Structure 1
């Protein structure tokens, strides 16, 4: 039997300050939520793709890019792709904003990660 994606309500859009990361939990998954200067909202697993790891929520946002707070890797919030010369992939998840309510969708396999 195949498990479906799971949608989580994570707050109101005004709960997320522009260009400032915020940690939220969706099930057992810790996410870093970012709202860009144009009001778009992005969800990234709060774990750096750098080999030494670390949190992403305290990173600096510029445009659609997140700068890893510990390793200064530049991560595209839209795709999770780490920009050259570094290489890696952050886990990003779809976000919807309906009526001022922010929701994130996680694949069923991800909802049980620690």
Structure 2
């Protein structure tokens, strides 16, 4: 059973932007797309470790700011022809509050 940590309100995450949660095991980037969908993945591209939170969000994808690898926000997987995974985290939104599974 997961325990949930309240992170922020959904409107605290910019549309087509992100918010970073600092943690000892590596930072987590929480993204919001233009459909108000929320995603959480490691803030580290599987290619060269670029900060995905600084990438460009479009649809359900983020482009790494270093080499433009496209990462699927729902799975953390790099889109073909690239391969690798940033890793994802479970989220939920309740009454406008964003919660991250620990």
The normalised TM-score by structure 2 is 0.90
Match of 1:89 among 79, 85, 90: 85
Moved over 6 A (4+): none
Q: Report the CA distance between 1:6 and its aligned residue.
A: 3.7
TM-superposed deviation, 1:5 = 3.8
- Matched residues in 1 for 2:54 and 2:30: separation? 10
Aligned to 1:57, what secondary structure does the other structure show?
A: helix
In our comparison, the structure showing a higher alpha carbon Rg is 1
Q: Deviations over 1:24-81 (max 9, x none)?
A: 23x534111110100011111111111x212110010110011011121111101111
Correspondence 1:15 to 2:12: yes
- Aligned counterpart in structure 1 of residue 46 of structure 2, from 44, 49, 56: 49
1:37 has 2:23 as partner: no
Query: TM-score by structure 1 length?
Result: 0.81
C-alpha deviation, 1:14, in angstroms:
0.9
Question: 2-side partners of 1:73 and 1:14: how far apart?
Answer: 27
SS at match of 1:23: strand
Query: Which residue in 2 is equivalent to 1:112?
Result: none
- Measure, in 2, the Cα distance between the counterparts of 1:7 and 1:49: 26
- Root-mean-square deviation (CA, aligned residues, Å) is 1.4
